[in-house]
Structure 1
């Protein structure tokens, strides 16, 4: 299995990197990466999945932000090039957001794109 390390691709904001590092510390495991994937689904056809993963798959792209590794599979990488992941914590909303220049549009719920 080979994983390719790149310096371009998904960007992780400082706030998102800090939140992911905090969540990883709660898990108590240093072998986990944040995997970001694009899967079929949602109202607009495609949806994002973010989860912790200890696997390295053939063709994975790996980006490192401090102590946080962000991994994408070879099918998702083209959809995510140039995307920025941020963490928002306001009265109205709390969670990760993805600003993706490749998304032609998204649904009202904000969970899927095309």
Structure 2
């Protein structure tokens, strides 16, 4: 393989990024529910020990101002109020002996609590 054959990943700052692993897991969960009308919604709400808390859930609604991106057939939706807090955030899914679940790597978070559920 030559240097020209390698692709350099680009940094996206125009919304939430869903990894292939996370997209596969979301698709499996949706298939298990037998629903193809749901999107993965990520929102930021006040709460938690650091001030803001992530919410990930399946949603059938389309709200005015929603930002929608598609990854491998999975629609990821962010409401317009949460979008500035989530620009460039990456949602991944890990399944190891130590940890299982969705993770969020958010470049906009200046700090988080020890439990990792909230940020500021």
Shorter-normalised TM-score: what interval?
over 0.9
Q: TM-score, normalised by structure 2?
A: 0.88
Do structure 1's residue 14 and structure 2's residue 20 form an aligned pair?
Answer: yes
Match of residue 3 from structure 1: none
Q: Which deviations, in whole Å up to 9, do the C-alpha atoms of 1:21-56 show, x marking residues without a partner? A: 000101101100000000000010000000000000
Secondary structure in 1 matching 2:22: helix
In the comparison of the two structures, how many residue pairs are matched? 108
Superposed counterparts of 1:1-114, under 5 Å: 8-114=14-120
Q: Whole-Å Cα distance in 1 between the matches of residues 65 and 107 of structure 2? A: 23
- Kindly indicate which of the two structures has a greater share of residues assigned to strand: 1
Deviation by residue 1:44-86 (Cα, 9 ceiling, x = unmatched): 0000000000000000000000110000000000000000000
- My pick for the range that moved more, 7-16 or 18-27, is 7-16
- Consecutive unaligned residues of structure 1, counting only runs of 5 or more, are 1-6
* TM-score, length of structure 1 as denominator length: 0.93
Runs of 4+ residues over 6 Å off in structure 1: none
Structure 2 gaps of 5+ residues are 1-12
Look up the SS of the partner of 1:51 in the other structure: strand
C-alpha distance after superposition, 1:77-111 (max 9, x if no partner): 00000000000101111000000000000000000
- Distance (Å, rounded) in 2 between the aligned partners of 1:44 and 1:94: 23
Higher Rg:
2
